[in-house]
């Protein structure tokens, strides 16, 4: 049997779960432990099939709308990490549903910023991707027409506000740093008095994972992003790798997704994972490469992360003693 070729694996750090994702998953698991199955979850708790399937096996039932939840249930209903329009909690309350809000606190921060701008009478731009659940949730914080979505640099160049001197912008938390910076620069050039966030809306986890990919992508033959096609932050990692000159940059949900024809002649491979992708799949993919190559693993770090977000009060451990 011939010896396996050598392959240098460069792991991006940080990668995988962020504090908001950990909080959201823990919210569902704690609710299952405390109240028993079923626990209803509106929309995928995070955009990852492995995570969602694991929670289904434990008794979580995923729905897209509250109307799918039976009448008179006493089961908890969890709102996903992406956030929801204001109409959703209002609907839950009108039906006397017991709801748990697993919205990422950094998304909630954007909702609060938008509400403050609206209260101050400003026209609001939201930089983001239409139909993404986080954007739907942010748009749904305010009356229809109060927020205008900007998706591209072209939108920023052509948008015509009612009052150019009374504007504000907020952003989706999982965007490309570079694309967003370009759009913000265009808006500030056209509207010098526009109000922006005090602190960057793009979340720390999105930023750090992109910075790590920027360091690794130029020095490897290929890069795999562990993540789902509907995960915004995972798709942005793949785009960042391509932009940094990596000739093979692919998204993979599991090892079974890998198209091995693309990796025939590589000698180095970068691996990262989106903020909703578990480390166990990174290990699964490394095991798949270890069957074909002799691996030499190193890690390239862009930042240290130690963020922690407390769980919703109803499922915190101390709540049991109240």
Mean pLDDT of the 179-183 span:
95
- Residue 2 pLDDT: 64
Provide CB contacts within 8 A for 101, sequence distance 6+: 78, 79, 89, 312
82 marked as binding residue: yes
R_g (Cα) of the chain, nearest Å: 21
pLDDT digits (tens, 9 = 90+) for 30-71: 999 999 999 999 999 999 999 999 999 999 999 999 999 999
User: Is 170 in contact with 117 (CB distance < 8 Å)?
Assistant: yes
Residue range 112-139: mean pLDDT, rounded: 96
**Residue 294 annotated in ligand binding:** no
Confidence category of residue 321, pLDDT binned at 50, 70, 90? very low
Cα–Cα distance list, 165 to 29, 151, 251, 295 (Å) = 47, 21, 42, 57
Name the helix (H) or strand (E) containing 190.
helix 177-190
Which residues in 209-234 are b (16+ Cβ under 10 Å) and which e? bbbbbbbbbeebbbbbbbbbeebbbb
pLDDT at 1: 54
- Round to whole Å and give the CA distance between 26 and 24: 5
pLDDT above 90 covers a percentage of the chain that reads: 95
246-291 pLDDT, tens digit per residue, is 999 999 999 999 999 999 889 999 999 999 999 999 999 999 999 9
Q: Are 123 and 162 in contact (CB under 8 A)?
A: yes
280: buried, middle or exposed (CB in 10 Å: 19+, 13-18, 0-12)?
Answer: exposed
pLDDT at 322 over 60: no
Could you list the active site residues? 134
Tens of pLDDT, residue by residue over 280-319, are 999 999 999 999 999 999 999 999 999 999 999 999 987 4
Establish whether 233 is an annotated binding residue.
yes
For residue 117, say whether it is annotated as part of any ligand binding site: no
Neighbours of 15 (CB within 10 A): 26
Q: Element (H or E) spanning 25, and its range?
A: helix 19-35
pLDDT of residue 248: 96
pTM of this structure: 0.93
Does 246 carry a binding-site annotation? no
């Amino acid at each position: 049997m011939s010896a396996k070729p050598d392959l240098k694996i460069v792991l991006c750090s940080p990668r995988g779960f962020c504090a908001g994702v950990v909080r959201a998953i823990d919210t569902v698991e704690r609710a299952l432990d405390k109240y028993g199955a079923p626990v209803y979850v509106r929309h995928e708790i995070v955009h990852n099939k492995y995570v969602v399937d694991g929670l289904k096996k434990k008794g979580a039932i995923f729905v897209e709308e509250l109307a799918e939840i039976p009448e008179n249930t006493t089961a908890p209903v969890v709102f996903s990490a992406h956030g929801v329009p204001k109409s959703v909690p209002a609907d839950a309350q009108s039906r006397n549903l017991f709801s748990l809000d697993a919205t990422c606190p950094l998304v909630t921060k954007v909702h609060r910023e938008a509400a403050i701008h609206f209260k101050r009478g400003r026209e609001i731009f939201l930089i983001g991707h239409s139909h993404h659940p986080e954007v739907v949730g942010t748009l749904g914080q305010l009356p229809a027409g109060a927020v205008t979505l900007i998706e591209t640099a072209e939108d920023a160049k052509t948008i015509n506000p009612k009052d150019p001197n009374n504007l504000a912008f907020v952003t989706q938390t999982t965007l490309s740093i570079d694309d967003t910076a370009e759009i913000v620069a265009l808006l500030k050039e056209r509207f010098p008095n526009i109000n922006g966030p005090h602190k960057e809306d793009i979340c720390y986890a999105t930023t750090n994972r992109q910075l790590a990919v920027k360091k690794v992508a130029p020095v490897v033959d290929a890069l795999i992003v562990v993540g789902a096609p509907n995960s915004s932050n995972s798709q942005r990692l793949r785009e960042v790798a391509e932009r940094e000159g990596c000739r093979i940059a692919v998204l993979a949900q599991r090892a079974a997704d890998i198209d091995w024809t693309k990796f025939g002649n590589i000698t180095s491979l970068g691996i990262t994972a989106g903020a909703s992708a578990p480390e166990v799949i990174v290990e699964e993919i490394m095991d798949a490469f270890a069957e074909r190559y002799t691996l030499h693993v190193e890690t390239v770090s862009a930042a240290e992360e130690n963020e922690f977000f407390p769980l919703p009060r109803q499922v915190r451990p101390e709540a049991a003693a109240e």
